[in-house]
Structure 1
Amino acid sequence: MVGTDTSRRSYIGIARMSSLAIHLLWLLIHLVISIFFFVLKIANVLESYLISSGFLKKYESINVGKLRYLAVVVDSEDALQINKVIKLVQWLADIGVKHVCLYDNEGILKKSKDIILKNLSCVKLFEEGDEQSLRGKKTMSLEFASQSDGKEALAKAANLLLKKHLKLRSLGENQEEKIFTEAHMTEALRAVGSGGPEPDLLLVYGPVRCHLGFPAWRLRYTEIVHMGPLKSLKYGSLLKAIYKFTLVRQNYGK
């Protein structure tokens, strides 16, 4: 009995020591990771300051012409910071971006578009064909989008195609005419007012790293960059994201 009790105490002691060692190891790993991300954050802030101050000369000459259309996705809570959104759009206009789409899931930016446009004299509402009309002018076209331009728009487009299918069927058209392709869907989306150009670059402002419901059919060749929360908006980080995009070589296939 004495030997059994001694063995049990030894086993319990070893188990406790192992548990303590694992806990200390977890704390150490957590500390190392926290220090790493803290240093990375400081480095990003410093780099952003250097870019904004003009110390890094390579960011002064950006081929912004390569960025034909830019989309900005803002988390719904961040979208309430209208002053920040206005500042962001003004910066994009100063950089020379010609076409911008502002998106948030709940349509907060759509409801605030009059306030945004009132505070930005160099901005006009997006219209099809703006790319040609704005060439050489110091004016930006601004599109507003929300979830209603996503799933709801797709449902409307599908309903439109169904009506067309039933009409062709009633007229006894050829079967080939009843096969709907990607081009037909694009045309239907444009007909319901949710076509829109495909962004070259999409910037996400918010806590999560996803497009937050931005219409997926407009993201086939889009570069997506997570910019962090809107409250930590920095001109240098914005300039860096656009600069890095201009260096990317995109292969679209034949």
Structure 2
Amino acid sequence: MMALVYEFVWRILHALLHLQRALICWFRIRLWNWRLWKRAVAALLVPVALSFQNHKKLGPSAGKRSLRRVRWGADGKSLEKLPLHVSLLIAEEELHYTDIANLVVWCMAVGISYVSVYDNQGIFRRNNSRLMDEILKQQQDLLGLDSTKYSVEFLNNKNEKQDHQVLSCQAVVKALSPDDGKPSIVKAAQDLCRAVEKKDRSSKDIDIHMLESILRDSTHIPDPDLVLKFGPVESTLGFLPWHIRLTEFISLPSHTDVSYEDFFSALKRYATCEQRQGK
């Protein structure tokens, strides 16, 4: 009888031992699979984490600048007609350098080659360096481009070129004042009269084309295709009377806090306008 009991207990223990071994083997297999799964997940997530870290290093502003630059370039190419020279005529008492600098940078970003800035007090011209410094600052803030690849030329009061490595296209910027208007016409006429008096020129050679050539050489930039006038005053305020015979004028309420959408809307209006060239 006892022998049967011992055999029964032995069989139970033997079964439990097999069950323990089976459970250990099962746990080992699950643990191994878990480790493989963890490695697989890590292999997938590590590149994502690294790319996220790299993106964080670039910063959200860098991504926004890149998107804006691409958008502005595409906007310029989408226009049926893009002005070669845009002039910003400020007919307001308070002048905000940052807002003007934004407009200049937007002009260059869409592909406009010449930009001039005018106020009837000549404030921008007298503070030419301050304006240009603000343009450089806003260029970096808005576009963040590699400054070694692109250049812009600033023309100072003496029409001397000052090269700075900035902006996405070769562009020329100049601050204008009333001295570049009627006084420049008077000076050109006086120079022609002196040339005739000294017999360097013949009076028969003097015509409109010669005067136009002298005036264009004095500004070192082509005639403006588009003038964006800011402010409530319905006047050109003495702005280049000779150079604007074929210029399109578009008025905006104010240059203060002007948006890119307002600026681009004006460019679209210019692109669709019909210029009859005096016909």
SS, match of residue 218 in structure 1:
coil
Quick one: distance in 2 between partners of 1:246 and 1:215?
23
Q: 1:244 and 1:76, CA in 2 relative to 1: closer, same or farther beyond 3 A?
A: closer
Matched to 1:178, the amino acid is K
Residue 124 (structure 1) aligned to one of 135, 149, 153: 153
Indicate the structure whose relative CO is greater, using CA pairs within 8 Å and at least 6 residues apart.
1
Pairwise CA RMSD: 3.2
Change (3 A) 1:108 1:60: closer
Does 2:212 correspond to 1:186?
yes
Matched, 1:77 2:93: yes
- Tell me how far apart the structure 2 counterparts of residues 97 and 203 of structure 1 sit (CA, whole Å): 14
Query: Judging changes above 3 Å, is the alpha-carbon distance between structure 1 residues 210 and 194 closer, same or farther for their aligned structure 2 residues?
Result: same
Q: Which residue of 2 aligns with 1:213?
A: 238
3-state SS in 2 of match to 1:209: coil
Q: Which residue, out of 204, 224, 228, partners 2:253?
A: 228
Larger Rg: 2
1:38-77 CA-partner distances (Å, limit 9, x unpaired) = xxxxxxxxxxxxxx9xxxxx96853376311111101252
CA distance in 2, matches of 1:112, 1:217: 25
Task: Specify the SS of the correspondent of 2:233.
Answer: coil
SS of residue in 2 equivalent to 1:73: strand
Structure 1 stretches lacking a partner, 5+ long: 1-51, 53-57, 131-136
Q: Equivalent residue for 1:26?
A: none
* Equivalenced residues, count: 185
Q: Which position in structure 1 is the counterpart of 2:79?
A: 63
Taking structure 1 as reference, are residues 71 and 64 closer, same or farther at Cα in structure 2, changes over 3 Å only?
Answer: farther
Q: How many percent identity over aligned positions?
A: 24
Q: Deviations over 1:172-210 (max 9, x none)?
A: x87xx436211121233246x246411111110122122
Tell me the TM-score normalised to structure 1 length: 0.62
1:144 to 146, 150, 175: 175
- Cα distance in structure 1, aligned partners of 2:230 and 2:173: 17
Q: Which residue of 2 aligns with 1:164?
A: 195
In structure 2, which of residues 224, 228, 231 is the aligned counterpart of residue 199 of structure 1?
224
Distance 1:82 1:196 in 2: 22
Give the C-alpha shift of residue 110 in structure 1.
1.1
Is 2:276 aligned against 1:245?
no
Report which stretch shifted further, 108-117 or 97-106.
108-117
What is the CA–CA distance in structure 1 between the aligned matches of 2:122 and 2:92, rounded to whole Å? 8
User: Shift of residue 157 of structure 1?
Assistant: 0.8
Distance 2:89 2:80 in 1: 20
2:110 to 95, 104, 109: 95
**What TM-score, normalized by structure 2, do the two folds share?**
0.57
Residue of structure 2 in register with 1:86 after alignment: 101
Instruction: State the 4+ residue runs in structure 1 displaced beyond 4 angstroms.
Output: 58-61
Name the CA shift for 1:60/1:97 in 2 (closer, same or farther; >3 Å). Answer: closer
- Alpha carbons of 1:183 and 1:232: their partners in 2 closer, same or farther (altered >3 Å)? same
Read off the aligned partner of 2:99 and give its amino acid letter: K
How big is the shift at 1:163?
Answer: 0.8
Cα distance change on mapping 1:220 and 1:253 into 2, 3 Å:
closer
Separation in structure 2 between the aligned mates of residue 64 and residue 89 of structure 1, nearest angstrom: 21
Of 219-228 and 159-168, the range deviating more from structure 2: 159-168
- Check the 8 A contact 2:87/2:228 in 1, yes or no: yes
SS at match of 1:220: coil
In the alignment, residue 255 of structure 2 is paired with which amino acid?
L
